[in-house]
Amino acid sequence: MYGCKFSLRMVARRRPFFTFMKFSESLKKNWKFREIYQHGKSYANKFLVMYITENNSEINYLGITVSKKVGNSVVRHRITRLIRESYRLHEMMFNSGLNIVVVARVSASGASYQDINKAVLHLAKLHKILM
């Protein structure tokens, strides 16, 4: 390919140099989710359930779970984006050093951004993790 060592596919798969959340990372490992479910403190409201544990580091880890019961993949990804955006916009208000798992309930499928935003902030206040 014109003497180029890397194909365009490989370049496109590289991780971007910027992140959307400044002080947080995403949870990806199944064992970490299970650990937070088992040992974390949980509060719930109409749209979401939030589990919290401490992680003894400077950054927060955010995991978002949306079951197939909630809807098809388009609906699930929409809810995931709404939760992530709500967290991103209020990230500076959250205490650091936390593992946070947010589970969407079936009623979240028809919720607007304002509903999800209020639900995330409500659960954070219940957990007393807002500055």
pTM of the complete model: 0.83
Please state, in angstroms and rounded to a whole number, the distance separating the CA atoms of residues 122 and 124. Answer: 5
Check residue 23 and give its pLDDT. 80
Condensed to tens digits (0 to 9), the pLDDT of residues 27-40 reads 999 999 999 999 99
Class of domain 23-127: alpha beta
**Rounded average pLDDT over 75-90:** 96
Specify burial of residue 65 (Cβ count, 10 A radius: 0-12, 13-18, 19+).
middle
- pLDDT band for 102, please (50, 70, 90 cuts): very high
CA distance 103 to 93: 20
Domains of the chain: which residue ranges? 23-127
Assign 13 a pLDDT band (cuts: 50, 70, 90).
very low
* CA-based max dimension of the chain: 59
